[in-house]
Every structure is written in C-alpha cells, then in structure tokens.
C-alpha cells in the first residue's frame, strides 16, 4: 500500500503525476528474543528495509519526485550518503527524470552500485559528510544548480525539501495504526535529523503522542547531546563515526529536532560504534532482521535508555530499522569475520 493512501496529509499531487513503487506499509514486528532477554515485554521493530529500494528514503523519494513530475521538472539534483541517492535514482528512473547526485566521500560501495544501476550520474566529494565547512560549500553549489530552469534540489531534510519530507511523515501514520495498545517511545536514528523531525510531525497529525527519541553515534553528535543537555541548538562537528548513512557533520534539521522532540518527552541518546555493530549482529542472529548499521542505531539507543532506567520495562518501545543489510557489505563482512564457508566434497555431507 503506497504512501499515497494518506494523500490528504501530503502536498496535493494530481493522480497522473504520482510515482509509486509500492513504498510504505512496512511490517511492525514484536521482538522475540532481544526484548524478552532485557525483560522488555513490548519491544517492536519497524522494518523500513521492506521498502522498494531497501530503506525508508523511498517515502521521501515518492513524494519528492511526484512533485517534480507535477511541476514538469526534468532534472533532479541531489546529495546523499547512500540511501537517499538510491531512492531518488529509482524513482527518477520510473519518472524519466535525469538524476545527478553528490555523494559523501565515505558512502559504501553497495549503495553507489545501486544508484548507478538505476542510471543515476554520481560523484563522490572529498570531505563531504565528515567536514562541516566542505559539506556547506558542496550544498551551496548544489543549491545553485537546483535553481536552474527545470531543475529541483532534492535533499532528504526539511531544510531543503520540506514537501518531499512530508512523505516520511507517513511512517508515523502507519505506526499510529499498527500499534494496537499504548505507544510510549519511538527511537529514531539521526544523521541530519530529518527522520526524527518527520516522525514527530507525523504523530502530531494523529491521536498518538509517544516520546520521540533521537539516537546518534557518539562520533556524529550534532543533535542528541544538545537535546539531552538542555541546549536549544545543535552544533556542527568533525564527524568520526564509521556508521554509514549517519555521517552528517552539519546540523541541518537539528535545531528543529530539539524543539520538536523535547515537548514529546523524548531526549537524545549517544551510542558507540561498537554498540551499533553489536546491535546489528543481535538483530540478525537473534531476530532474523538483516539491517545495515544505521538501521541498528535505534535499538542501541533503546537498550542504552533501558540500562539507564529511562524507560519502564512495561512500556511499548518501537525502534526504526531504517535500511537493509545489503546496503553495507563491509559491515556484514565484519559481522561474519569469525565464520567460514568451507568447500567440501559430496561424501563429506554426512
């Protein structure tokens, strides 16, 4: 079921202009092992890896590219750490729109291959994503390109593409429907903060009001530390995390995330890269959920909150699993470093 089910909540787009690949309506599953092991009766995972290109960014791309079709724009200019680029490339291919993407320097090869498979024209930029000054310079150049006739800049952040980000708000609409009982806490991984902000804004249009938490790797603390510490503004950083997809040195939507999350009762959570790798492995081997590292960040944050007694064991917790494990082959190789696949003869099977 497409995100267009909630078309009355999105920017009006004529039916003929809507581009959909079947995004949305992703599963919400109860934890079978990790939750019970931590005495959490109601730990759930929202599997955004079930979207067409393997991440929640398809919600953004469906809305953003449909708007471009409605406006007869033919050239998509974008920036991405991987998943946004893959999503935009796919939806641009479906719409017959040219797609050019500036990629952060550290983006995993699998994500680059996916973008190129859809026909996108891509280029990596030195320092983009890890150096705030270079990132700002790169985006300024992209903004200039996006202002040309027939062009549109698409960056998955409210600061740059607020109408496209309306598509991400549908994630909250789905959770409001899927969670039958109380809905107490939603943990969101954050790079630039757009996902977290979309979830808060989405819930504001429903009858649900969970605490929405912003979880970041310690090496990219642009928002979470400030939110927890009582500050009103995020801060640019020198990014050191190895968690792909969350290497966003600039604040971007961070200030708005802080203002939006705090009234919900949510706070910021910082987790180590090692905790993220461990959560990724546990999801795969204990729950059968195959995700990229960024998709395990929310779980790492939820377990951290439980350890600090900031959530009750009877509460309902939802962790957003934002992208497929196929997105980051290097992290999977790291997970499997102590296992082997030997070649044996047929006689050795028994």
pLDDT for res 231: 97
Domain CATH number, residue 110: 3.40.50.1100
pLDDT band at 6, cuts 50/70/90?
very high
Does the structure show a pLDDT above 90 at 108? no
Does the structure show a pLDDT above 90 at 36? yes
Q: Is the same domain home to 88 and 144?
A: yes
Task: Identify the domain containing residue 64 by its residue range.
Answer: 57-163
Q: Is the same domain home to 145 and 176?
A: no
Domain assignment of residue 345, yes or no:
no
Domain assignment of residue 343, yes or no:
no
Q: Is the same domain home to 117 and 230?
A: no
Number of domains in the chain: 2
Domain assignment of residue 349, yes or no:
no
Q: Is the same domain home to 83 and 188?
A: no
Domain assignment of residue 290, yes or no:
yes
Give the mean pLDDT of 74-98: 96
pLDDT band at 81, cuts 50/70/90?
confident
pLDDT for res 204: 97
Q: Is the same domain home to 192 and 293?
A: yes
pLDDT for res 102: 95
What phi, psi does 123 have (nearest 5°)? -155, 135
Distance CA 293, CA 278 (A): 9
pLDDT single digits (tens) 304-339 = 999 999 999 999 999 999 999 999 999 999 999 999
Q: Is the same domain home to 69 and 48?
A: no
pLDDT single digits (tens) 243-293 = 999 999 899 999 999 999 999 999 999 999 999 999 999 999 999 999 999
Q: Is the same domain home to 118 and 221?
A: no
pLDDT band at 350, cuts 50/70/90?
confident
pLDDT band at 67, cuts 50/70/90?
very high
Contact 62, 2 (CB under 8 A): yes
Q: Give, in order, the Cα–Cα distances in Å from 119 to each of 111, 124, 234, 311, 327.
A: 13, 16, 36, 45, 17
Domain assignment of residue 159, yes or no:
yes
Q: Is the same domain home to 43 and 110?
A: no
pLDDT band at 131, cuts 50/70/90?
confident
Distance CA 190, CA 159 (A): 15
Cα 191-197-198 angle, rounded to 5 deg = 110
- Lay out the sheet containing 211-217: strands in order across: 28-30, 42-47, 316-321, 185-189, 211-217, 268-271
pLDDT for res 92: 98
Does the structure show a pLDDT above 80 at 1? no
pTM: 0.95
Task: Region of 127 please: left (phi>0), alpha (psi -120 to 50) or beta.
Answer: left
Give the mean pLDDT of 161-184: 96
Q: Is the same domain home to 219 and 184?
A: yes
Give the mean pLDDT of 145-174: 97
Q: Is the same domain home to 133 and 256?
A: no
Domain assignment of residue 304, yes or no:
yes
pLDDT for res 10: 93
Give the mean pLDDT of 199-217: 97
Last-in-domain residue among 163, 194, 229 = 163
Does the structure show a pLDDT above 80 at 345? yes
Report which of residues 350 and 242 the model is more confident about: 242
pLDDT single digits (tens) 12-29 = 999 999 999 999 999 999
Domain assignment of residue 312, yes or no:
yes
Distance CA 60, CA 64 (A): 6
Q: Is the same domain home to 277 and 245?
A: yes
> How would you class 139 by CB atoms within 10 Å of its CB: exposed for 0-12, middle for 13-18, buried for 19 or more?
buried
Domain assignment of residue 344, yes or no:
no
Q: Is the same domain home to 155 and 117?
A: yes
Average pLDDT, the chain: 96
* DSSP assignment string, 180-228: -S---EEEEE-SSSHHHHHHHHHHTTSS---EEEEEEEGGG-SSHHHHH
Last-in-domain residue among 163, 193, 228 = 163
Last-in-domain residue among 116, 148, 163 = 163
pLDDT for res 347: 92
> How would you class 330 by CB atoms within 10 Å of its CB: exposed for 0-12, middle for 13-18, buried for 19 or more?
middle
Distance CA 122, CA 102 (A): 6
Element (H, E) at 316: strand 316-321
């Amino acid at each position: 079921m497409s995100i267009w089910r909630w078309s009355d909540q999105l920017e009006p787009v004529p039916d003929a202009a809507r581009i959909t690949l079947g995004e949305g309506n992703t599963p919400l599953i109860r934890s079978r092992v990790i939750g019970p092991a931590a005495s959490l009766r109601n730990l759930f995972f929202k599997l955004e890896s079930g979207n067409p290109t393997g991440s929640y960014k398809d919600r953004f791309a469906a809305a953003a590219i449909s708007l471009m079709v409605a406006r007869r724009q033919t050239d998509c200019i974008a920036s991405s750490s991987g998943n946004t680029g893959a999503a935009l490339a796919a939806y641009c291919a479906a719409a017959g729109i040219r797609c050019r993407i500036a990629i952060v320097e550290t983006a995993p090869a699998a994500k680059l291959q996916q973008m190129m498979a859809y026909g996108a024209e891509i280029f990596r930029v030195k320092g983009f994503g890890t150096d705030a000054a270079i990132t700002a310079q790169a985006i300024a150049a992209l903004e200039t390109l996006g202002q040309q006739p027939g062009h549109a800049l698409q960056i998955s952040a409210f600061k740059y593409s607020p109408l496209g980000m309306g598509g991400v708000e549908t994630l909250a609409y789905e959770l409001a429907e899927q969670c039958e009982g109380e809905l107490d806490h939603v943990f969101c991984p954050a790079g630039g903060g757009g996902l977290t902000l979309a979830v808060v804004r989405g819930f504001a249009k429903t009858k649900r009001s969970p605490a929405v938490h912003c979880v970041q790797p310690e090496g990219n603390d642009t928002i979470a530390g400030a939110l927890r510490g009582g500050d009103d503004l995020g801060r640019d950083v020198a990014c050191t995390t190895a968690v792909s997809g969350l290497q966003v040195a600039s604040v971007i939507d961070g200030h708005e995330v802080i203002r939006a999350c705090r009234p919900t009762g949510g706070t910021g959570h910082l987790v180590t890269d090692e905790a993220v790798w461990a959560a990724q492995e546990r999801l795969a081997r204990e729950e059968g959920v195959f995700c990229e590292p960024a998709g395990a960040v929310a779980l790492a944050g939820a377990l951290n909150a439980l350890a600090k007694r900031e959530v009750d064991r009877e509460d309902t917790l939802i962790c957003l699993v934002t992208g497929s494990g196929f997105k980051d082959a290097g992290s999977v190789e790291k997970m499997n470093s102590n296992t082997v696949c030997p070649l044996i003869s047929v006689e050795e099977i028994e």
